[in-house]
Amino acid sequence: MEIDVRRVGDGRLVVHHGLTVGRLPLARCTYERICAAAARPVPLLHEALDAIAGRALGHLDLKERGCEHETVELALDRLGPGRFVVTSRDPESIRVIKRDFPEVVTALSVGRAPWERGAVRDLSPLSTVRRCGADMVALNHRLARIGVLAACARAGFPAMVWTVNAESLMRRFLADPRVAVLVTDHPRRALALRDAGAGNRPAHPSPALPGVFAGSSAARPAARCGRGGRDARAAADGPQARQRAGPVRPAPPSTEGSVGPEPDPRGRIA
């Protein structure tokens, strides 16, 4: 379950995608004022983690610097080691996490809008991925379709591909052995396609992290996080999985295997 993390003016961590609630900047407002102005609940991070603990894996997307240590420490406490992945578009955030929490799985998020500063660099992200020490690359689906996914695979980096909502693209990426995780606003449809065999794909070498599966009931409490779609988005991994999955713990670089109903040599669990 994807959880977008930001810090509000009084220092608390909340689950929210954007910089503002209404026209109020989160960074300048107290949590109480934000809740009063919001049309929907704005959970505190620890509340969102408690809602999915033991029921789903966490995909914690850091939207700004300065949240790294508190977010990871909360996730380790509430979800447990190996039960979450941290993503960020900021290489420095990834570097800090890998330096201070080397066992935590991270992915550098790549895919700025064309008009955003640094968008051109997203076409060739591998040097940045290596420098920050990310385990995976989280690619916008548009980049994945124009060769960036292929380049990451050749370099040995598994990919999370976001945000895939069109059924034709779901089928395409579920069948692609280079894709470790599919992120979508329509997880039920993606899971149905996967379970129906839309993604019967061969095993593919992946030096980063295998999948562990969580029950679909986790989507219900987590859907209360923020807007439920963008702030609590489900991720689907591997066509043979019975429920949504994500990368959670390291495996030896020399081993191979695909997700299946029985544990494989890389430690994936049905």
For residue 222, what is the enclosing H or E element?
helix 219-222
249: tokens are 């713990």
* Degrees to nearest 5, angle at CA 149 with 143 and 155: 135
pLDDT at 251: 35
Residue 9 domain flag: yes
| Cβ count near 118 (within 10 Å) | 10
The answer to whether residue 253 is domain-embedded is no
Count of domains for the chain? 1
Tokens 């620890």, residue located: 46
The reply to whether 252 falls in a domain is: no
Q: Is residue 238 assigned to a domain?
A: yes
Q: Which stretches in the chain have pLDDT values below 50?
A: 204-270
Please check whether residue 16 is in contact with residue 6, taking contact to mean a CB–CB distance below 8 angstroms.
yes
Q: How far apart are CA 239 and CA 110, in angstroms?
A: 24
Strand partners, 107: 87, 136
What is the rounded CA–CA span in Å between residue 42 and residue 48?
10
What's the pLDDT score for residue 195? 85
Q: For residue 131, is it within any domain?
A: yes
Q: What does the alpha-carbon distance between residue 248 and residue 226 come to, in Å, rounded to a whole number?
A: 24
Which of the 8 DSSP states describes residue 245?
E
Indicate which CATH number applies to the domain containing 17: 3.20.20.190
User: Among residues 152, 156, 179, which one has the least CA distance to residue 235?
Assistant: 179
**pTM for the full predicted model:** 0.77
Residue 260 located in a structural domain? no
Task: State residue 117's pLDDT score.
Answer: 84
Note down the domain range covering 10. 2-247
pLDDT given at position 159: 95
Q: Under a CB-based contact definition with an 8 Å cutoff, are residues 59 and 244 in contact?
A: no
